[in-house]
Structure 1
Amino acid sequence: MIQFLKNLFGGSDPVLEVSLRELGVDMHSHILPGIDDGADSLEHSLELVRAMKELGYRKLIMTPHIMSDFYKNTPEIIREKLQLLRQAVKNAGIEIELDCAAEYYLDEGLLDKLDNNEELLTFGDNYLLFETSFLNEPLNLRETIFKMRSKGYQPVLAHPERYTYFYGKFEELVALRELGVVFQPNLNSLAGYYSAGAKDVAERLVEQGFVEFLGTDTHGMKHIATLHKVLSTKHLVKALALPLRNRQL
């Protein structure tokens, strides 16, 4: 339910506070225990699941990192952790649906997986979540996008607002959509959590309607705390008015 709240910063315009029940499904988080830079224990995972449910989520599609040099996760490892967390959530009496995919780092390992037709963890309608370096545009970015598409995947670019190599080049970022990429900004970017630059790009993507998914990218309780701040941002209201695909998952 939407509530009109007084603007705490002294303005005369009301701030809208929105429940994330209107979104329902999160498709980007690092809540599975002990396999990347997110939750480091089962207890930590349970704390995050409880917090996400309190925010209004009914389903979490958790996406551990897969990176050739750092996080050498496999579908088998990720599914094993999913089953472990599902059982713990059931034992704790928390009613929420849990599923998994992965966040793939664009490196040679991902290209090899695509070339060798290895199993990749996707969600929904064969959506493949991927990220790149935040600082440097990969030379093979467009080649890899084309390869994903040719293999039947729908590429989802995680947190497009955070790639500094696109700062000041908004049209080049948007041009990726012509290659079949869909965008998933992080909710916390709307509260300026990462940087002013990321906030600016995220807001612009929302204003232009260039957002298909919204994700929390939750790693820990610090992200949960910022999500509560996001609830009173005007751009969240605008984002939730878009035909977001989270609701179809």
Structure 2
Amino acid sequence: MLSIFQKKTFLADLLPGFTDFHNHLLPGIDDGADTATDSLNIIEKFNELGINNFVATPHVMGEFYPNTPATILPALNKLKNQLSKDTQIQVSGEYMMDQFLLEQLEAENLLPILEKYLLVEMSYFQAPINLEEILFKIQNQDLKPILAHPERYAFYHSKSLVKYKDLKSRGCDFQLNMLSLTPHYGIGIQKTAFQLLENGMIDYISSDAHKVEHLEKIKNIKLTKKQHSLLEPVVNRSKSLFG
């Protein structure tokens, strides 16, 4: 029987030296930071967690945020001269698996993470009907797909995790959102997050922070001893991705 007095730690205890590679801190190009001031406030909150290194990943989706290097790189330049020398920031994108992505793949007009990984997402309502084609074309360009927040796709939730296992078999790595460790997105998503962790299916973790309030919540995430043991190797693997 678990004791109600079981010792807890904080997720933040694991994060110093971590590179956050899923966030929306670039100003004015998606539903994250509106201004450079907002971006700097978000970065300040990250710094309080011991995080000074970032890959900014604005949404890239044809219907709402048709971002390309031509919009992402200028947004980065708005920040660069205001950042402290201790802050390192690279850019990529969170790529919706849609027709726009296929077009950008064909044009070789992408910003992969470390020139090797592509952070991808799906609609929260259903997977794309041509999911297999998209994953094949990503990998055909020598890129490794990392599926953002797999726990948030409710249409994949099941006790057997069969659809997640299928995605794994197709070469997808999985990136967990930090806030999914809490009921922030809903109890069902929190439950699936830990189910995926317990089954060894989560490869990486990142914040998906859009605003200061998200970092304030992350700062207060408490972990049981078991949760800490599940998350520590995932955090360490995320750190090692960036050397």
User: TM-score higher than 0.5 here?
Assistant: yes
Give the one of 11, 19, 22 matched to 1:25.
19
> Matches of residues 75-86 of structure 1 in structure 2 within 5 Å?
75-86=69-80
Tell whether the 8 Å contact from 1:23 to 1:240 is kept in structure 2 after alignment: no
Q: CA deviation at 1:172?
A: 1.1
Corresponding residue of 1:118 = 108
Alignment counterpart, residue 8 of structure 2, candidates 9, 15, 21: 15
Asked whether the 8 Å contact 1:126–1:152 carries over to 2, the reply is yes
Counterpart position of 2:241: 248
Greater shift, 151-160 or 208-217, is seen at: 208-217
1:99 maps to what in 2? 90
Greater Cα shift, 239-248 or 158-167 = 239-248
Identity over aligned pairs, percent: 32
SS in 1 for 2:81: helix
Partner of 1:155: 145
Number of equivalent positions: 236
Instruction: Work out whether 1:238 is the aligned partner of 2:214.
Output: no
Q: Counterpart in 1 of 2:210?
A: 219
Cα distance in 1 for residues equivalent to 2:33 and 2:14: 22
Q: 1:42 to 1:101 in 2, by over 3 A?
A: same
TM (normalized to structure 2)?
0.91
Q: Residues 198-224 of structure 1, C-alpha deviation per residue, up to 9 Å, x if partnerless?
A: 111111111122122111000002211
After superposition, the C-alpha distances for 1:6-64 in whole angstroms (9 at most, x for unaligned) are xxxx8121112242435611100000011100001111100000100111113111100
Deviation per CA, 1:177-231: give whole Å up to 9, x if none. 1111000010110012101111111111111221221110000022112202224
Given the superposition, is the C-alpha separation of residues 236 and 33 from structure 1 closer, same or farther in structure 2, using an over 3 Å criterion?
farther
Q: Gapped runs of 5+ residues in structure 1?
A: 1-9
Is there any run of 5+ residues in structure 2 with no aligned partner, and where?
Answer: none
Conservation of the 8 A alpha-carbon contact between 2:19 and 2:238: no
How far did 1:117 drift? 3.4
* 1:76 positional shift: 2.3
